[in-house]
Chains A and B, each alone.
Chain A
Amino acid sequence: MKKELLLAKSNIRKGKGITVGLILLIILAAAFFNLVLVIFNDVNKNVNKCAERLNTEDVNIQIAGDISSITDEYIESIINKNNVKDYELLRANIFYAVVTKYGDGEVTPNIVFEKKDSALNARIGKSEIVEEDNSISGIFIYLPYQYHTGGKFNLGDEFKVTILGKEYTFKIKGFINNITMGSYNTGDLLMIVDDDTYNDILVKNNNTYNYLRIKTKVNENVNKAVFGNDFLKTITSKDNTLSVYSGVIDDYIFGRTFIALIIGVSFLAFSLIILVIVFLMLSNSISNYIKENIETIGAIKAIGFTSKNIKVSFMLQFAILSVIGTILGLGLSYLMIPFITGIITTQVGIPYNVVFNPVVAVTTIVTLIAIIIISVLFFTRKTKKIEPITALRDGISTHNFKKNKIPIETSKLPININLAIKTMFINMKQNIITFIVVFFLVFNGVISLIMMQNFSIKPKISLLTFELCDGAIFTDEDKDKEVFEYIKSLDHVKNVRLISNESVEADNTTLSAYILNNDCSLKNIDVCYKGRLPQYNNEVALSGKYCENYNHSIGDEIEIGVGNQKAKYIITGFIQTTNNNGQEAVIREDGAHQIFKKDFKKLYYFDVDEGTNIDDCLDNIKNRFGDKIGSTVNFQKVIDGSITIFKTISNMMVVAMIAIGVLIILLVLYLLIKTLINNKRKEYGILKAIGYTSKDVILQNAISFMPSIILSVIISCFISSKIANPYLTMMMSSFGIMKATFEVPVTYVAVMGVGFIVISFLFAVLLSRKIRKIEAYNLLRGE
C-alpha cells in the first residue's frame, strides 16, 4: 500500500491545478447533497418534533355557525371511543377573511382568538411562545411566528385588525407556534389576545361562540381522513346548516413544508447535476492523466508495478481528494444551511435550529466517496491494457487522426477561427462534457427565471388561488342580497359573483367546495385546466389531483354529500389550485342546494374598470353597510402579501442557481482548458515558432469551446422553455398543480443565455492566458 500511496501523492503533486479544481467540484457536490439530505431529513423532522412537543391533534373537526346545539355532552355521546385516544374541545370565535398586513401586502386569514392561558395550557394542540416581550402590557397580541418570519413583524410593532366593525390596534407582545393554526397556508390562524380584548370581542359577538374545534388524538390504526369525514357526517346529519371541516395532521404538516420540499427538490436536481459533472470531470482527468503519463505508466509497470497497483494508486489519489472535498463540502453546507432554512422557516413558520446531523453527514461522505471510487475503478480499467514496452515507446496513439475536419484549403473561415474549429473537433470529448454541463446549468437557470417571472415579477396568481378579482366583500348573511345588488349598481364595477366555501364529502374524503352563483363567470380561466366548470345543477368540477387519486374521469358520475344529504353529479372538468392539498370541488349554487339546506357564507368577488380606485369602492360599500360587512379585500394587496415568500424564494433561487452555474462553468472550463493546454503545449509552441502570436493562440483555444457552449445554450434555452411547464407540473403535482402554464420570460432567458456565452468566453480567454507562458524556444530547448 505504501508504494501506491507514494504514487498517489506524486500524482496529486504533479497536477495541483486539476486537483484543486476537482476538489472544488467535489466540495460543491457534497455541499448541495448534504443540504438536500438535511432539508428532506430535518425540516420535516423538525415540524414533526414540534407537533409532538405540542401534542398536536391527529384530526381536528371544525364546526362554525350556531354551535349552541353542539354541546360537550353531545360530542361525548357521538365520539367513537374505539377510535379516539383523547380529545379536547375549543370553543371560540372565528372571524373570516380578516384583512391583516403581511410582508409587502396583506393576507386574509380566518382568525380564531384565544386567551393566553388556555392556548398555552391546552392538553391537545397547544401553542408555545417562540419570542416574547414581557415589558409590553395593555392591549397586546401574540401572533403566529410566521408573521415574524414571513410577515416581517417584530416584537413591539403595532398590529391592526378590524373585528365586527371595530378596529383593534395591538402591540405585538410575542410570537407563538401552533401546528394546525400557525400558518396561513393551512387556513385558520390562532392569535392570543389580552383578556380585556378577548372579552370585548365576546361581548360584541353577543356573548356567544361561533366556532368549535374538536381536537382528537386517534388510535394508530385509524384512517384519519375517514375518521374526520365520518365525524363530519354525524354532525351534519344533526344540523345541516353548520359549516364543518375536518383536517388531518399530515395535511397540515405538508401544507407548511411544501416550499421546503420544492427547494429540496430543486437542490436535489442541482446536486445530481453537479455529481454528473464531477463524474464527467473525473473521467476526463483520469483519461487525460493516462494519456499524458503513458510513458511513466509504462516505466512503473516495467519496474514491477501491476495494473492493480496503478488502479489502487488512482483510487487512493481520488479517495484523498474525495475525503478532503466532502469534508470541506459539509462545512460549506452548514454555512449555507442557516440561509436556506431561514427561507424555509419563512413559510414553515416554525423555528429551526441548525444542528449537526451526523447520520446525514456520514451518508453524504460515504455516498460521494463511493460514487467517486466506482467512477475511478470504471475509468482506470484501460490501464490494464497498457503494455510497458509499448507505453515506453510512446506507441499508444492518443489520437487517431483519420479525417481532416474543416481543411484549411477549402474552408472559408479566417485562419484563426479555422484552427479553433479544428481544435474543437480534436477536443470533441471535452466539448461534449462542456455541452452537457452548460445544458444542465442553463436548464436550471431557465427554470429559476421562470419561477422568478411567475412568482416575483409577474406573479401567476391564477395557479395559487381559486379566483382572481380586483376586490372582495365578506358579508353578514342577513344583508347579502342587498349588498349584492348594491355592488352591482356601483359605477365602474363589473362581473360581481358570489363564491362560497363549504365542506362536502365524496369517496369518504372531505373536499372543500367552491359554490358559485348560477350566472357566475370566473376570471381565473386557468383554474379549470381540463374540461369545463359546471353549468347545470347536476354538474361538478373536481381537483385533478383528487380525481387522479380516486380514478375519476370527466363524464363519470360521483356521489357528493353533506351528512345524510347526498346527490349525484357528473364530473365536467378538472381544476387545479394549491389550496387544501388539491382536494377541492366546484358546484353551482342550485347544485349545492341539493345537499345543503342553508344559506352559505357570502364572499362577493368583483372587478372594476381600469383606473378605478378599488379602495374607494371598498370604502363606499363599507360605509353603506357598516358592520354588516365582515371584511373588504383589496385583492392586489392580498396578492402582494401572499406572494412575499414566493418572491423571496424565487429571487433567491435565481441568484443562487445562476451564480453557482457560473461558478461551475468556470471550474469546468478551468479543468478542461488546463488539460487542453497541457495536451497541446507542443502544438502551441510550434504555432508560436512559425509566427502565431499568443493572442492568436489564446483566441483559438477559447473559441474552440464556444461552438459547444453556444449550441448548448441555444438548445438548452429552447428545450428548457418547451419542457418547463411539464417539468414544473411534475414537480408541483403533489400539491395540486396539474397543468402548469407558467410564462417563459423570453427576454430574461435570452439575456441569461447571452450572459452565459459571454461569461464563458471571457473565462475561456482568461484561463487560456496561460498560453502566453508557452514560449516556442522553451519547447525547442526542452526537446
Chain B
Amino acid sequence: MNENVLIKTEKLSKTFSNNGRMQHILKNIDMKIYDGDFTIIMGPSGAGKSTLLYALSGMDTPTLGNIYFKDKNITKYNQDKLALFRRKHCGFVFQQIYLVESMSIMDNVLASGLLTKKNKKEVVEEAYKLLEKVDIRREYVKKFPTQISGGEAQRVGIARALINKPDVLFADEPTGALNSKTGTDVLNLLTSVNEAGQSIVMVTHDIKSALRGNRILYVKDGEIAGEINIGKYGENNEKRHNELSDFLVRMGW
C-alpha cells in the first residue's frame, strides 16, 4: 500500500430526509484513500457504499464533515466547482454505463477529453489509444452506444473515464449490468490500468470483483465496519481469496 494519501475524510456524514424522517446513510466516517491503490468498498445493500463513493468523488456533498483531496477541502465547493474538480481529478465508471446515446463512441470519449485539454490532436490520438486498449475496434468508434454490446459500452465508459488521466477512477459496480464473460473483461481492464499506476475506488458486492482490489473497506450501517489489505491481484490469489472470505465472514457478509 502506497502511503501517499489521495483522499481523506473527517467525520463524513450524509443524511437524507425521507418523508420528513431523517435517514443517516453515512455516520462520522474517518477514512483515507491511498494513491495507486485499488480500493474496494463492499457492504450489504443499503449500507451506504455508493453514497460514500459519490461523496468521495465530489459527485455528492456530505451533510457534515470534511473531504480532503490532496489536502484540499472540497466539502465547501459549489456544484460548478465540484464539476471542475471532477473533470480534472476524477474518472467515473457507472453500473448503468451512462454513455450519451446521441453521441458516437468517439464523441463520448472526446466530449470528456476535450474538457481539460486544448490540443485536440493529442486528445484524439489519446482517445484512439485508449479505445484500442479497451479493445474497441477502430471501425466501432463511429457507432452509437445503442449499436454495441453492454460489455463494449462499458469498456468505452472506461476509456472515457481514463481520457483525462484522472488521479482516481471511481467505479460503481461496473460489472453489475454485464454478463460473466464481459464482466471479467472489464475487471481485467481495470486491473491492468491499476497495475499501470491508476488509483481506483470501486464499489461492489461481488467477491470476484472485490478480489481485484488490494484494500477492501467494509461499510455497514453507514460506518466503516472494517478493512483488510490483501495485496495486489495476481500475487497468490488463492490466499487473497481466503483472506477476503474470512474477512467478509467476520463482517457478517
Residues on A close to B: CB < 8 A? Answer: 397, 399, 401, 404, 407-409, 415, 419, 422-423, 426, 682-683, 685-696, 772, 775-777, 779-781, 783
Closest chain A CB from B186 CB (angstroms): 18
Once the chains bind, are A408 and B106 in contact (CB under 8 Å)? yes
Flag if B100 contacts A691 (CB, 8 Å). Answer: no
Across the A-B interface, give the 6 residue pairs with the lowest CB-CB distance, nearest first.
A691-B87, A777-B60, A693-B80, A415-B114, A408-B110, A693-B83
With a CB–CB cut-off of 8 A, which chain A residues contact B146?
A: 397, 401
Q: How far is the CA of A682 from the CA of B100 in the complex (A)?
A: 8
Q: Is the CB of B86 within 8 A of A690?
A: yes
Which residues of B sit under 8 angstroms from A776, Cβ to Cβ? 59
Residue interface mask B75-115, A partner, CB < 8 A = 1? 00001100110111010101110111111101100111011
User: Measured between alpha carbons, how far is A691 from B113 in the docked complex, in Å?
Assistant: 10
Q: Among the listed B50, B98, B112, B142, which residue makes an inter-chain contact with A691, where contact means beta carbons less than 8 Å apart?
A: B112
Contact B172 A692 (CB under 8 A): no
Given contacts A683-B100, A695-B80, contact A780 B110 (CB under 8 A): no
Given contacts A693-B80, A777-B54, A777-B60, contact A404 B104 (CB under 8 A): yes
Tell me the complex Cα distance, A682–B116, Å: 22
Question: Which residues of B are found within 8 Å of A685, using beta-carbon distances?
Answer: 98
**Chain A CB within 8 A of B136 CB:** no
Q: Tell me the B residues contacting A by CB distance below 8 Å.
A: 50, 54, 59-60, 79-80, 83-84, 86-88, 90, 92, 94-96, 98-104, 106-107, 110-112, 114-116, 124, 127, 142, 144, 146, 160-161, 164, 172
Chain A, residue nearest B98 (CB): A686
Contact B79 A772 (CB under 8 A): yes
A127 CB, nearest partner CB in chain B, Å: 73
Q: Would A401 and B84 be within 8 Å (CB), given that A409-B107, A780-B59 are in contact?
A: no
B51 to chain A, nearest CB (A): 8
With known contacts A407-B107, A409-B107, A777-B59, A687–B100 Cβ distance under 8 A: yes
Given B59, B99, B101, B114, which contacts A408 in the complex, CB threshold below 8 Å?
B114
Beyond the given A397-B146, A685-B98, A690-B87, could you list 16 further A-B residue pairs with CB under 8 A, ordered by the A residue number?
Answer: A399-B101, A404-B142, A404-B144, A408-B110, A409-B127, A689-B92, A691-B88, A693-B83, A694-B79, A772-B79, A775-B60, A780-B50, A780-B59, A781-B50, A783-B95, A783-B96
Query: For residue A692, which residues in chain B have a CB less than 8 angstroms away from its CB?
Result: 83, 87, 115
Contact at B172–A409, with CB atoms within 8 Å?
A: no
What are 8 A-B interface contacts by the 8 Å CB criterion? A423-B102, A687-B111, A689-B98, A690-B92, A691-B164, A692-B83, A693-B80, A775-B60
User: What residues on B are CB-neighbors of A688 within 8 Å?
Assistant: 83
* Alpha-carbon gap, A777 to B60, bound state (A): 6
Closest A residue by C-beta to B55: A777
A337 to B110, CA, bound (A): 58
Point out the residues of chain A lying under 8 angstroms from B104, CB to CB. Answer: 404, 407
Shortest CB-to-CB span from B118 to chain A, Å, is 10
Alpha-carbon distance A666/B208, docked complex (angstroms): 55
Residues of B within 8 A of A401 (CB): 101-102, 144, 146
Taken together as a complex, chains A and B put the C-alpha atoms of A18 and B17 apart, in Å, by: 29
Instruction: Return chain A residues, CB-CB under 8 Å to B144.
Output: 401, 404
Assuming the contacts A401-B101, A691-B86, A693-B84, asked whether A780 and B94 have C-beta atoms less than 8 A apart, the reply is yes
Give A443 to B60 CA distance when docked, in angstroms. 49
Flag if B160 contacts A690 (CB, 8 Å): yes
Q: Once bound together, how far apart are the Cα atoms of A692 and B59, in whole Å? A: 12
User: CA separation between A409 and B128, bound complex, in Å?
Assistant: 11
B102 contacts A408, CB within 8 Å?
no
| Docked-complex contact B172 and A780, CB < 8 angstroms | yes
Contacts of A415 in B (CB 8 A): 110-111, 114-115
* B107 adjacent to A690 (CB under 8 Å): no
Which of chain B's residues has its CB closest to A402's CB? B144
Task: Given A683-B100, A691-B84, verify A407-B92 contact (CB < 8 Å).
Answer: no
Among B83, B92, B146, chain A packs the most CB atoms within 10 A around the CB of: B83
A397→B92 CA distance, assembly (Å): 27
In the bound complex, do residue B115 and residue A690 qualify as a contact, i.e. CB atoms below 8 Å apart? yes
A694→B83 contact, CB < 8 A: yes
For the complex, what is the distance from the CA of A423 to the CA of B101, rounded to whole Å? 12
Contact A775 B79 (CB under 8 A): yes
Q: How far is the CB of A365 from chain B (nearest CB, A)?
A: 42
Which residue of B80, B102, B104, B106 has the most chain A CB atoms within 10 A of its CB atom? B102
Given contacts A415-B115, A777-B59, A777-B60, contact A422 B88 (CB under 8 A): no
B107 touches A408 (CB 8 A): yes
Chain A residues near B50 (CB, 8 Å)? 780-781
Question: Which residues of chain B are near A423, meaning CB under 8 Å?
Answer: 102
Q: How far, in Å, is A428 (CB) from chain B's closest CB?
A: 12
Instruction: State how many angstroms separate the Cβ of A770 from the closest Cβ of chain B.
Output: 14
**Shortest Cβ distance from A406 into B: residue:** B107
CA distance A613 to B109 in the complex (A): 77
Cβ–Cβ contact B59 & A691, under 8 A? no
B34 shortest CB reach to chain A, Å: 23
> For B107, B144, B160, which residue has the most chain A Cβ atoms within 10 angstroms?
B107
Bound complex: CA A12 to CA B151 (Å): 40
Bound complex: CA A690 to CA B111 (Å): 9
A683 to B90 CA separation, bound complex (whole angstroms) = 19
A147–B96 alpha-carbon span in the complex (Å) = 77
* Known A-B contacts A683-B102, A690-B92; A409 and B110 likewise in contact (beta carbons under 8 Å): yes
Residues of B near A399 (CB, < 8 A) are 101-102
With known contacts A690-B87, A691-B88, A692-B87, A419–B111 Cβ distance under 8 A: yes
How far is B161's CA from A264's CA once the two chains are assembled, in angstroms?
Answer: 62
Which residues does chain A contribute within 8 Å of B124, judged by CB atoms?
A: 409
Q: Which A residue's beta carbon lies closest to that of B83?
A: A693
- How far is it, in angstroms, between the C-alpha of A233 and the C-alpha of B242 when the chains are bound? 125
Select from chain A the residue with minimum beta-carbon distance to B84: A693
Q: Which residue of A lies closest to B80 (CB)?
A: A693
Task: Give the residue name and chain of the B residue nearest to A684 (CB).
Answer: B100
Q: In whole angstroms, how far apart are the Cα atoms of A783 and B176 in the complex?
A: 13
With CB as the reference atom, state the residue of chain A lying closest to B92: A689
Docked pose: A783 CA to B50 CA in angstroms: 12
Complex Cα distance, B97 from A783, in Å, reads 11
**Bound: A415/B120 CA distance, A:** 10
Could you say which residues of chain A place their CB within 8 Å of the CB of B116? Answer: 691
Q: How far is the CA of A173 from the CA of B224 in the complex (A)?
A: 97
Residue of A nearest to B110 (CB): A408
CA distance A415 to B90 in the complex (A): 19
> Which residues of A lie under 8 Å from residue B161 when comparing CB positions?
690
B60: chain A residues at CB < 8 Å are 775, 777
A691–B84 CA distance with the chains assembled, in angstroms: 6
Question: Nearest Cβ distance between residue A53 and chain B, in whole angstroms?
Answer: 68
Q: Is the CB–CB distance between B54 and A780 below 8 Å?
A: yes
- Which residues on the A side are within 8 Å of B103 (C-beta)? 404, 408, 422
Which B residues lie within 8 Å of A780 (CB)? 50, 54, 59, 94, 172
| Distance in Å: Cβ of A722 to nearest Cβ of chain B | 38
Contact A407/B84 with A683-B101, A689-B98, A772-B79 known, Cβ cut-off 8 Å: no
B203 nearest CB across to chain A (Å): 11
